[in-house]
């Protein structure tokens, strides 16, 4: 198992487990209180963004996720 596992839940959050840190766009690190598992909001309705607060359950957020292969990245010019 990799050091970090990311699971995209059907109709729910992005779950991150393992050894990780979460940073804002300026490089500031969120204090996670020693957690080794966290949920990130995917529906946009959380009052605690970027973290999930379960709002997807009451907003009707629906998005089924199926793993797939991504195409190769485009060359940088």
List 18's β-bridge partners, or say none: 4
Give the domain range for residue 38: 1-63
72 is a domain residue? no
56 is a domain residue? yes
- Report long-range pairs for 26-31 (Cβ below 8 Å, ≥24 apart): none
Confidence of residue 77 (pLDDT cuts 50, 70, 90): confident
What is the tally of structural domains in the chain? 1
Write down the pTM of the prediction. Answer: 0.87
For residues 56 and 42, is the Cβ–Cβ distance under 8 A?
Answer: yes
Kindly compute the dihedral angle of the four CA atoms of residues 59, 63, 64, 65, in this order, to the nearest 10 degrees: -130
24 is a domain residue? yes
11 is a domain residue? yes
75 is a domain residue? no
* 54-70 mean pLDDT: 96
Which pLDDT value is given to residue 41?
A: 98
Give CA–CA dist 58/48, Å, rounded.
15
pLDDT at residue 26 is higher than 60: yes
Confidence of residue 9 (pLDDT cuts 50, 70, 90): very high
Confidence of residue 1 (pLDDT cuts 50, 70, 90): low
């Amino acid at each position: 198992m990799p050091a970090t596992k990311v699971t995209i839940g059907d109709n729910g959050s992005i779950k991150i487990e393992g050894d990780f840190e979460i940073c804002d766009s300026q490089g500031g690190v969120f204090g996670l209180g020693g957690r080794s598992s966290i949920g990130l909001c995917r529906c946009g309705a959380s009052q605690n963004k970027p973290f999930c607060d379960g709002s997807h359950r009451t907003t009707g957020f629906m998005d089924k996720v199926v793993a797939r292969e991504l195409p190769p990245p485009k060359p940088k010019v």
